Amino acid sequence: MKKTIQKIGVLTSGGDAPGMNAAIRAVVRTAMFYKLEVVGIRRGYKGMLEKDFVPMQSQSVSKILALGGTILQTSRCPEFKELEFRRQALANLQEEGIDALVVIGGDGSFRGANDIWKDFGFPVVGIPATIDNDIFGTDFTIGFDTAINTAMEAIDKIRDTAHSHDMVFFVEVMGRDAGFIALNTGIATGAEVTLVPEIQNDMDSLCNYLQIGRRKNKTSGIIVVAEGGHLGSAAEVAAQVKERIPNYETRVTTLGHIQRGGSPSCNDRVLASIYGYEAVGALLDGRSGVMVGRVNAKTVFTPFDEAISKHNQIDRSWYEITKILSV
């Protein structure tokens, strides 16, 4: 199979994540090294449907290593769930002479990639890129490390005000249904409480815990709330706490999209570079329908079926540690 691949298409899909550009660069440069042609597919699957193709050379990816976002842009493309549209996409790829794909994105993106592979046997390798770190088959996704540092730095700033004013801030961080961002930033900022979707909390024990802190003269604090938590958004949690402990001075901050942008951290750039290199190599080795990942510091390949259906788990013992260390 090795020699059949001559032109690789590369796209970014789903929510953008810092390091996507580093991955694009690594795909392009590695393909050049192997004397392959590369076509950038703009705006994800939508660009595939609309023939939004751009040929890429080594210089197309100069000076993008340090840039956040994705130069190929990204989008959601619900049509791609329908076979009819995927057939059109295939035709477009073939017309362009593309004979293999690298898809950079999250699990939604891998569903589309898996479909192309399963429907048509079209060679596809995926690269996990999402700030949420919730993809099975890799210890780390591209963008996660940058996001936790961005969120941590924002919370550090908020703590200045929390302490100066003796207030409690409820800070909402991203992460979809996963608590990775919340748990890591909770530990890193010494949050008094960290609420993650994976662990059931009730309002009684939360308020109880807060009042213990208060009695110990902890009058300011940070409560990190993961967006997918059981008790609701940061604003909702704050409102409920305020109702039960009326003399609490509370404020709410939703960090929002700043967590998705910015120049990627060293880890994210390295990870993205390795993934891009390995993804091209995997295609040349005849692999397809798999996602590249790093598990225990080794490169592994996980079938999309598995990557899509399973989930990484947070280390629950860390949740206990946050409580012990914030006392």
Would you name the residues annotated as active-site residues?
132
Q: Decide if 143 contacts 20 (C-beta within 8 A).
A: yes
Nearer to a copy of itself, 91 or 325 (CB): 325
Nearer to a copy of itself, 122 or 184 (CB): 184
Place of tokens 């890429």: 56
- Kindly write down the DSSP assignment for every residue of 90-121, as one continuous string: HHHHHHHT--EEEEEE-HHHHHHHHHHHHHH-
Q: Least distance (Å) from a copy of itself to the CB of residue 74?
A: 5
Q: Least distance (Å) from a copy of itself to the CB of residue 39?
A: 19
User: Can you tell me which of 81, 87, 118, 163 binds a copy of itself, judged by CB under 8 A?
Assistant: 163
Site track 177-206 with a copy of itself (rule: CB under 8 A), x = hit: -------xx-xxxx----------------
- Residues forming a β-bridge with 102: 10, 125
Q: Decide if 166 contacts 199 (C-beta within 8 A).
A: no
DSSP percent split of the chain into helix, strand, coil, nearest 5: 45, 20, 35
Q: Is 157 in the site for a copy of itself (CB under 8 A)?
A: yes
Q: Least distance (Å) from a copy of itself to the CB of residue 51?
A: 17
Q: Is 130 in the site for a copy of itself (CB under 8 A)?
A: no
Nearer to a copy of itself, 5 or 131 (CB): 131
Site track 35-54 with a copy of itself (rule: CB under 8 A), x = hit: --------x-----------
Q: Least distance (Å) from a copy of itself to the CB of residue 139?
A: 6
240, two tokens: 């409920």
Q: Is 63 in the site for a copy of itself (CB under 8 A)?
A: yes
- Tell me, what amino acid is at 185? T
Site track 213-242 with a copy of itself (rule: CB under 8 A), x = hit: ------------------------------
Give the CA diameter of the chain: 71
Nearer to a copy of itself, 121 or 256 (CB): 256
User: Can you tell me which of 12, 109, 114, 138 binds a copy of itself, judged by CB under 8 A?
Assistant: 12
Q: Is 247 in the site for a copy of itself (CB under 8 A)?
A: no
Q: Is 176 in the site for a copy of itself (CB under 8 A)?
A: no
User: Can you tell me which of 1, 4, 6, 33 binds a copy of itself, judged by CB under 8 A?
Assistant: 33
274-313 residues in contact with a copy of itself (CB under 8 A) are 274, 276-277, 296-297
Q: Least distance (Å) from a copy of itself to the CB of residue 268?
A: 9
70-129 residues in contact with a copy of itself (CB under 8 A) are 70, 73-75
Terminal C-alpha separation, the chain: 59
- Kindly write down the DSSP assignment for every residue of 230-281, as one continuous string: TT--HHHHHHHHHHHSTT--EEEEE-GGGGG-SSPPHHHHHHHHHHHHHHHH
Nearer to a copy of itself, 233 or 254 (CB): 254
Using CA atoms, how far apart are residues 77 and 90, in angstroms rounded to an integer? Answer: 15
282: alpha, beta or left? (left if phi > 0; alpha if psi -120 to 50): alpha
Determine the size of the site formed for a copy of itself (CB under 8 A): 76
Is residue 320 exposed (0-12), middle (13-18) or buried (19+ Cβ within 10 Å)? exposed
Q: What are phi and psi of 302, to 5 degrees?
A: -120, 130
Kindly give, in sequence order, each residue whose CB lies less than 8 Å from that of residue 112, ignoring residues fewer than 6 positions away.
13, 45, 77, 80, 81, 86, 103
User: Can you tell me which of 1, 4, 55, 66 binds a copy of itself, judged by CB under 8 A?
Assistant: 66
